[in-house]
Amino acid sequence: MIEELINEYLSNAEIAATVDYSDKKSVQKFNVSSDRMRAIAVEVVNLGKDALVQFASLLDKEPAAGWAATHLVEKANLDGETLSRCFARVEQAKAEEEAKGNLADAMITETWLKEWRAKKATTDN
pTM above the 0.85 mark? yes
Domain residue spans in the chain? 2-124
Residues 6+ apart with CB under 8 A from 67: 9, 13, 16, 34, 37, 58
- 16: closest CA among 1, 30, 2? 30
Task: Report helix, strand or coil for 78.
Answer: coil
Segment 27-39, tens digit of pLDDT? 999 999 999 999 9
Segment 43-87, tens digit of pLDDT? 999 999 999 999 999 999 999 999 999 999 999 999 999 999 999
Q: How far is CA 14 from the centre of its chain?
A: 13
